[in-house]
Structure 1
Amino acid sequence: MTNDPAILPAQGAILLVDKAEGWTSHDVVAKSRRALGTRKVGHAGTLDPMATGLLVLGAGPSTRLLTHLVGLDKTYLTTIRLGYATVTDDREGERISTADAGAMGEVTPERISAAAAELTGDIMQAPSAVSAIKVNGQRAYDRVRAGEAVELQQRPVTVHAFELGEARHGVDDTGAPVIDIDATVRCSTGTYIRALARDLGKALGVGGHLTMLRRTRVGPFDVADAVGTEALAQGGALPLLAPTSVATSLFPRLDLGAEQTIDLGNGKKLEVDPSVVPDASIAAAVGPGERLVGLVQVKRGRVRVVTNFPVETGGAP
């Protein structure tokens, strides 16, 4: 066991973490700061303490990449319990309604599939009332905890896939009938999986909430490649992703010569041959030595910086 910080490269790095249940996203960031020996650590989207799975972190100059990672699609594994609703839309919240046995008896596999199909594709979704969205300057979850009834406005999201497993019938700890369903959800950023569970239960007239949530993918990043939170807490060597490899996995690559690297790094616009370099709303400009110079826009042979990536002194090469 070691608590020595990992050596952070001069351009920083992206770190994938498999968050354990009970940890907050802030806990993971705090542990990463200690493990990497830098205060400059951010994330590309939080997970609730109840949830587990993939957090994408950026450290050092690579935090500048996070803005471009937040909007990536995400994949979740989850378990939905039909039979009652909670104030938080998950198992940690107070029960606010319970379906009777008659209503539960009318919930068939066909009705469940039809309701899930209505929640697939481009839909309007009201976020969970205990989300971090601000209402009149105050977080929605703070208003709920203060006893207020909060209803957030619907917003457009895309559910690419809402795949359901077999329904398992049982009873909860009060003896009331429940139906548990495992599901895989692929969705756009901003989609609330708790709200999907809530809306599925509402469509079936029996209420619903999450009992388990695990994020397995963010864009091209897989939780199988992530370091666990316990290993993160122990410190030492970590599987760091170079910003150049991350950027070029997401965006077209534009290779620069030494002089172009200097010019672009100084904020100058570049001219390239439009017959060779196609237009791109975002491209990864890479200089000699696989240095990520910046994310750029290419339009009709003109290259301008969208986000530059400096090299911090004192880091590893």
Structure 2
Amino acid sequence: MAVTGIALVDKPGGITSHDVVARARRAFGTRKIGHAGTLDPMATGLLVLGVEGATRLLTFIVGLDKTYEATIRLGVATDSDDADGEMTTTMDASALADEQIRTAIKPLTGRISQVPSTVSAIKVNGKRAYDLARAGEQVELAAREVTVSRFDVLAIERSESVIDLDVVVDCSSGTYIRALARDLGAALGVGGHLTALRRTRIGPFGVDGASSVDGLAEAAVLSPAVVAADVLGRFDVTADEARDLRHGKRLVGAAARLEAGRAAIDPDGALVGIVERRGSDVKSAMNMPEERPA
């Protein structure tokens, strides 16, 4: 039987996130593998995979804030806003001062309205935007509100007519770093696109603790209890309370204890489920299967 839990994987460039899922299925001996957000083939870094019953926890992970390290090239725009697309415009960016660049970044931080990249996985009338764009159709995507809590320039490198910026970005789920590159280039009047992208964090999970794709068979799998407590906070229950929750019963008068968190953990350290407040009571919003030790 496959282990139940969450696996952290460091995706290399040049393969899709679905390729990683396929390899994980072989490594863990199960088809029940899910992910908490994909990365483009060009991108590298952290993928969070759910194995077996822990796929239920992915819904709580996918919306967590993320950190990316990226390189933005100013002076060249592409139709995909990244290096995998076709070049659309070029303009000499060499006259831009460092302070001009940092000033242009400021409006792209905080709560902002962002139009996602045309070549994205967003569905338009039931079809992926990137499929429509590649078929030559005009794609109009609506702006969405996202939060960029950090957009820091780590290094500025100049080469002839282009400028490469190494940046780090902390942002809410749903933020497109490619769109930030595009919008920064547009604000500076020279165009811009993304040449490198690495996701280093999703919520409390960092890429430093991730396994390589080739090392999946030996990868450590985080227990559902540990993951749920990290993401949602821990709610300790007795053995009797755990049994009641698993049988669909309410914990009468237990709502005051929910301040600590929503992940119900039994005395053996197993995740019973995710609970919610119902008046002064607590009931299970999602039960979890019994854990099998890694």
TM-score category (smaller protein): over 0.9
1:316, CA displacement in angstroms?
A: 4.5
Does residue 38 (structure 1) correspond to residue 30 (structure 2)? The answer is: yes
Does residue 145 (structure 1) correspond to residue 139 (structure 2)? The answer is: no
Aligned to 2:99: 110
| d(CA) in 2 for partners of 1:295, 1:153 | 34
Give the match's secondary structure for 1:143: helix
Aligned to 2:249: 268
Aligned to 1:4: none
1:179, CA displacement in angstroms?
A: 0.5
Aligned to 1:91: 83
RMSD, matched Cα: 1.6
Give the match's secondary structure for 2:54: helix
Aligned to 2:122: 133
Matches within 5 A, 1:57-206: 57-99=49-91, 101=92, 104-171=93-160, 177-206=161-190
Aligned to 1:226: 210
Aligned to 2:44: 52
| d(CA) in 1 for partners of 2:283, 2:124 | 37
Aligned to 1:3: none
**1:85 counterpart letter in structure 2:** A
Aligned to 1:16: 8
Aligned to 2:225: 244
Identity %: 54
1:198, CA displacement in angstroms?
A: 0.3
Gaps of 5+ in 2: none
| d(CA) in 2 for partners of 1:23, 1:158 | 28
| d(CA) in 1 for partners of 2:189, 2:94 | 11
**1:257 aligned to 222, 231, 238, which one?**
238
**1:48 counterpart letter in structure 2:** D
Give the match's secondary structure for 2:77: strand
Given that residues 33 and 50 in structure 2 are in contact (C-alpha distance below 8 angstroms), is that contact kept between their aligned partners in structure 1?
Answer: yes
Aligned to 1:309: 288
**1:294 aligned to 259, 269, 273, which one?**
273
| d(CA) in 2 for partners of 1:316, 1:161 | 38
Deviation per CA, 1:85-126, whole angstroms, max 9, x where unpaired?
001101111011111x3xx24421111111111100000000
Structure-1-length-normalised TM-score? 0.89
| d(CA) in 1 for partners of 2:113, 2:42 | 25
| Higher deviation after alignment, 255-264 or 89-98 | 255-264
Give the match's secondary structure for 1:167: strand
| d(CA) in 2 for partners of 1:316, 1:111 | 55
Given that residues 84 and 208 in structure 1 are in contact (C-alpha distance below 8 angstroms), is that contact kept between their aligned partners in structure 2?
Answer: yes
1:278, CA displacement in angstroms?
A: 4.0
Deviation per CA, 1:229-259, whole angstroms, max 9, x where unpaired?
1222xx3x22110010111112232211222
Residues 231 and 121 of structure 1, relative CA distance in 2, 3 Å threshold = same
**2:233 counterpart letter in structure 1:** P
| d(CA) in 2 for partners of 1:284, 1:37 | 27
Give the match's secondary structure for 1:311: coil
| d(CA) in 1 for partners of 2:20, 2:42 | 14
| d(CA) in 2 for partners of 1:147, 1:242 | 45
| d(CA) in 1 for partners of 2:254, 2:213 | 47
| d(CA) in 1 for partners of 2:66, 2:33 | 21
| d(CA) in 2 for partners of 1:122, 1:128 | 18
Stretches of 4+ moved more than 3 A in 1? 272-275
**2:262 counterpart letter in structure 1:** A
1:38, CA displacement in angstroms?
A: 0.9
1:279, CA displacement in angstroms?
A: 4.6
1:301, CA displacement in angstroms?
A: 3.3
Residues 227 and 139 of structure 1, relative CA distance in 2, 3 Å threshold = same
**1:114 counterpart letter in structure 2:** T
Counting matched residue pairs gives 294
Structure-2-length-normalised TM-score? 0.95
